[in-house]
Amino acid sequence: MTAEETAEVIKEAAGCMVTWLRRDGHPAGAYVQSVVLDGRIYITSTAGRGKNVAWRRDPRTTAVFEVPLKGGVTVLGRVEFDPDPALRRRVLDAMADGIGVQGELRARYLSHLDTPSREVMRIVPEKYVTVHTGRTFAAMTSGFAR
């Protein structure tokens, strides 16, 4: 995929699967909401969660984004915790925007999200692996390899 298509998939997916390594070496993962601000990928979770604890120990991660029949993007990189309150507010607002809540619903959503243990993490990419799944599927059902 081109850089533009890759960015489009990450933005359109609005969520991704992130990985971490447990203390015993078992690789683990979970699906999380993600937002893109100023060209950077952000996710959020609370301090006591396994992934937050694991990333404080070892920040290496992979984020996998998928938009069916459009593209798959795997971002290999690391997690950076960012405690900046202004950034935190922008990330939480972008998450509310992402699910389209407004008015009172938005206020309730943000009050549930904006808790003392909430942490904001940036995924710092080191490498992208991409696949144009639309083209792959078309090729899989055609005779191109014969």
Question: What is the DSSP-derived secondary structure letter of residue 102?
Answer: -
Closest by CA to 34, choosing from 48, 17, 55, 19, is 17
Cα–Cα distance, 36 to 34 (Å, whole number): 7
DSSP letter, residue 88: H
Q: Is 130 in the site for other proteins (CB under 8 A)?
A: no
Whether the Cβ atoms of residue 77 and residue 123 lie closer than 8 Å to each other: yes
The yes or no reply on residue 128 touching other proteins (CB under 8 A) is: no
Q: What is the DSSP letter of 24?
A: T
Of 56, 89, 108, 135, which lies in the binding site for other proteins, with binding defined by CB under 8 A? Answer: 108
138 vs 75: CA distance, rounded Å: 24
Q: At 101, give phi and psi (nearest 5°).
A: -90, 145
Q: Which of 11, 29, 124, 130 binds other proteins (CB under 8 A)?
A: 29
Query: Binding to other proteins by residue 87, rule CB under 8 A?
Result: no
- Pairing between strand 27-33 and 15-21? antiparallel
Residue 27 beta carbon to other proteins: minimum distance, rounded to whole angstroms: 4
- Choice from 21, 36, 87, 124 touching other proteins (CB under 8 A): 21
- Closest approach, Cβ 38 to other proteins, in A, equals 25
Q: Which of residues 23, 129, 134, 135 is near other proteins by CB under 8 A? A: 129
Chain residues binding other proteins by CB under 8 A are 15, 17, 19-21, 25-31, 46, 48, 58, 60-62, 64, 66, 72, 74, 76, 99, 101, 105, 108-109, 111-113, 115-117, 129, 137, 139-143, 145
